[in-house]
């Protein structure tokens, strides 16, 4: 029975390949087909940029690797993001960040203190945070860096709780 299904699926696939090979559309007809395909892609939630996805309320999970080979998983939803560093060794601490309200909250799982960077307080010439050679001065700067590796992003259902700042961490630089 399984062999029959495999043969049937194989035969269906061969027919599709032969049909597309026979296509002799003119350039104008191909252009119209591309327009139709683009509309269909937009209807299914496909995105051409990270900013576009976020503006369409599409939540994303991205794998970002910097030039030094350090990797992180990034979750983006609306105007907030969560970054979890990928450990190189099992004994390495888990480093995480939440970016929201034009601020970065950074902490690791092996301490009860973290760091808060408020983009609004960064003065010209100050460099608190970099991604590769790019100085990060806003949430948009981070999104632009992720954009460079958008091929590593997929749609993901992401809970709002992922973007909560942990209550048990004291953030240096925090003003209350």
The pLDDT score that the predictor gives to residue 175 is 57
For residues 150 and 54, is the Cβ–Cβ distance under 8 A? no
The pLDDT tens digits of the residues spanning 155-164 come to 999 999 999 9
How much of the chain, in percent, has pLDDT values that exceed 70?
72
Q: Domain residues of the chain, as ranges?
A: 2-43, 50-172
Kind plus residue range of the DSSP H or E element containing 20: helix 2-21
Length of the chain in terms of residues written: 176
Q: Which two tokens stand for residue 167?
A: 């209550």
Measured CA to CA, the distance from residue 162 to residue 77 in angstroms comes to 10
The pLDDT score that the predictor gives to residue 169 is 94
Q: Is the dihedral of CA 165, 144, 79, 82 positive or negative?
A: negative
Mean pLDDT over 4-13 rounds to 31
Q: What is the 3-state secondary structure (H, E, C) of 31-47?
A: HHHHHHHHHHHHHCCCC
Q: CB atoms < 10 A from the CB of 59, how many? A: 18
The pLDDT score that the predictor gives to residue 149 is 93
């Amino acid at each position: 029975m399984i062999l029959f299904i495999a043969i049937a699926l194989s035969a269906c696939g061969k027919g599709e390949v032969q049909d597309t090979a026979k296509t002799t559309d003119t350039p104008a007809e191909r252009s119209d087909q591309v327009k139709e395909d683009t509309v269909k892609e937009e209807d299914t939630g496909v995105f051409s940029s990270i900013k576009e996805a976020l503006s369409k309320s599409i939540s994303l999970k991205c794998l970002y690797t910097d030039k030094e080979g350090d990797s992180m998983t990034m979750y983006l939803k609306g105007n907030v993001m969560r970054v979890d560093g990928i450990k190189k060794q099992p004994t390495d601490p888990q480093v995480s960040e939440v970016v929201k309200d034009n601020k970065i909250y950074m902490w690791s799982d092996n301490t009860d203190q973290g760091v808060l960077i408020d983009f609004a307080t960064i003065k010209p010439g100050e460099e608190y945070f970099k991604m590769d050679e790019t100085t990060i001065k806003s949430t948009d700067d981070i999104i632009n860096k992720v954009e460079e590796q958008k091929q590593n992003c997929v749609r993901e259902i992401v809970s709002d709780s992922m973007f909560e700042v942990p209550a048990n961490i004291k953030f240096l630089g925090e003003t209350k």
